[in-house]
Amino acid sequence: MSDILYGLPAEQYFAADRINNSSLKLINKSPLHYQASTEQDREETKAMLIGSAVHTAVLEPSTLLDRYIVAPQADRRTKEGKAIWSDLEASGKIVLSQTDFEMIDAIQSAVFAHENAFKLLAKGHPEISLFTEIDGVPAKARMDWYRPGIILDLKTTEDASPSGFARSCATYGYAQQAAWYLDCAEASGLEAHTFIFLVVEKSAPYAVALYELTPESLEFGRAQYQRALNLYKQCKKDDDWPGYSSQIEQLSLPAWAMREAA
């Protein structure tokens, strides 16, 4: 049985006790890291806060000013400043600095000015939560944007060039994410044959790009998540969540380090 939920608050999605892509990435690091994450409260970092604001600005722009407000030019040490900030905090909105708000506004403008990105966002739904089952394991995924056949994932980055974002895909496991989301969508009964990254740089000129991974890269990502899923099932069966090896192992320098030294 699968559930497809539109508009589910993010905190409710994250609270659901199911395996998701982030869980699988931790398991691939070590089951111990995953187990530790289940015992800790999820804390929102500054980067996560800005990322959420960017998603709102691009994917749900009509709600941006309902959720966020720009920090006023008021000295919190003065009586007047304290009163202004007290009213601000009572509003229940998330406070952004002027600098951060200007960056978010520039990112939004850059995405909307990109012809094909704008077309992709002209039809569809934001923030759809999927609750399903993969290989007998309760699973979940939260799609940034979905339109029939296409999952769109918004990423901010320092370098949106093909070579730059390819490095990001390798570093952050984006191929695994793409495969996981496509498979969760299929398991939920949604038509989804294409996963597209909408990538935008976080500094001027806020360049925008659209990328689709090759079939070989997607299969690599699928193998990554399946390996983690199998390991999770074994650890759960044994109730044993090991960390790194207890043995002394030989370590080789990365190939890129060897090449640079040559």
Specify the higher pLDDT residue, 95 or 53: 53
How does the average pLDDT of the chain come out, rounded?
Answer: 93
Residue 171 has pLDDT above 80, yes or no: yes
Q: How far is CA 209 from CA 108, 115, 151, 160, in A?
A: 13, 11, 15, 6
pLDDT at 95: 85
Mean pLDDT of 204-222: 98
pLDDT at 261: 72
pLDDT category of residue 42 using cuts at 50, 70 and 90: confident
The residue behind tokens 């925008």 is 208
Residue 48 has pLDDT above 80, yes or no: yes
Residue type, 248: I
Determine the 3-state secondary structure of 155 from DSSP: strand
Most confident residue range from 182-186, 242-246, 256-260: 182-186
Specify the higher pLDDT residue, 76 or 244: 244
Residue 25 has pLDDT above 90, yes or no: yes
Determine the 3-state secondary structure of 193 from DSSP: strand
Quote the percentage of the chain above a pLDDT of 90.
78
pLDDT category of residue 43 using cuts at 50, 70 and 90: confident
Specify the higher pLDDT residue, 87 or 175: 175
Residue 13: phi, psi to the nearest 5? -60, -50
The residue behind tokens 């395996």 is 19
Per the CB < 8 A criterion, the answer to whether 106 and 44 are in contact is no
Residue 154 has pLDDT above 80, yes or no: yes
Q: How far is CA 121 from CA 92, 124, 146, in A?
A: 28, 7, 9
Quote the percentage of the chain above a pLDDT of 70.
97
Walk me through the domains of the chain, giving residue ranges and CATH numbers: 3-240 (3.90.320.10)
